[in-house]
Copies of this chain bind each other. A is one copy, B any other.
Amino acid sequence: MSKGETTRSAILDVALATASKIGLEALTIGGLAREAGLSKSGLFAHFASKEDLQLEVVRKAIARFVELVIAPALKKPRGEPRVRALFENWFSWSRASELPGGCLFIAASSEFDDQPGPVRDLLLSSQKDWLGVLAQAARVAVEEGHFKATLDAEQFAWQLDSFILGYHHSARLLRSKDAQKRAQTAFESLIRASRA
């Protein structure tokens, strides 16, 4: 990486951590410059606009999500073990040190649900990709004979993702100590109901 790329990457690390705490909307070039110890004009050299910065933060989050959640799950055996890994890896992602405020996608989804534009489009396509990965893992589990042939893979993905949203909500807002246990129990009941 060139010096410019290294600086840009370091800024994005700070921006991702900050956005996970205060939201993508509250992320300003000025505020980020202070956090990163750079001048505002120095930051503008890397990001043309606030929207450009927001898009880069979401792209960085997607890349990290693929590294932490999807890539390791694809190394697991096809079928239920891979489905299980996707669910479990999501918690590693949500608790990763670079995300002190929890999953950026869920937080940003609420922020941008009424704001059409490229940031919302990118969030939307990444969420659809995630649901697609979950549904595909469920279809593989059907092929492997782990899950029943009549399983609705999209519905399975939707319910699994709902438990993730439930976890995020309980853990973040309600500060519930049970959040992980509740999500795990819900996941096991979904797996049981899906088995062949």
**Interface presence of A46 (CB below 8 A):** no
Instruction: Quote the shortest CB–CB distance from A48 to chain B (angstroms).
Output: 25
A92 at the interface (CB under 8 A from B): no
Which of these binds chain B: A2-10, A30-38, A80-88, A120-128?
A: A120-128
Could you tell me the distance between the alpha carbons of A109 and B70 in the complex, rounded to whole angstroms? 28
Which chain A residues (103-130) contact chain B, with CB distance < 8 Å? 106-107, 109-114, 120, 123-124, 127-128
| Supplied contacts A101-B113, A158-B166, 8 more A-B pairs, CB within 8 Å | A21-B114, A109-B173, A113-B173, A124-B173, A124-B175, A127-B174, A159-B163, A162-B162
| Alpha-carbon separation in the docked complex, A114 to B166 (Å) | 17
**With a CB–CB cut-off of 8 A, which chain B residues contact A193?**
189, 193
Closest to A173 in B: B109
A148 within 8 A of B: no
Instruction: Tell me if A182 counts as interface (CB < 8 A to partner B).
Output: yes
Distance between Cα atoms of A163 and B161 in the complex (Å): 9
What total of chain A residues lie within 8 Å of the partner, measured CB to CB?
Answer: 40
Which residues on the B side are within 8 Å of A78 (C-beta)?
Answer: none
Give the interface centre of A109, A166, A178 by most chain B CB atoms within 10 Å: A166
12 contacts between A and B (CB under 8 A): A21-B114, A101-B113, A102-B113, A109-B173, A110-B172, A114-B172, A120-B173, A128-B174, A155-B182, A158-B186, A165-B169, A166-B166
B155 touching A162, Cβ below 8 Å: no
Q: Enumerate chain A interface residues (CB-CB to B < 8 A).
A: 21-23, 101-102, 106-107, 109-114, 120, 123-124, 127-128, 152, 154-155, 158-159, 161-163, 165-166, 169-170, 172-175, 178, 182, 185-186, 189, 193
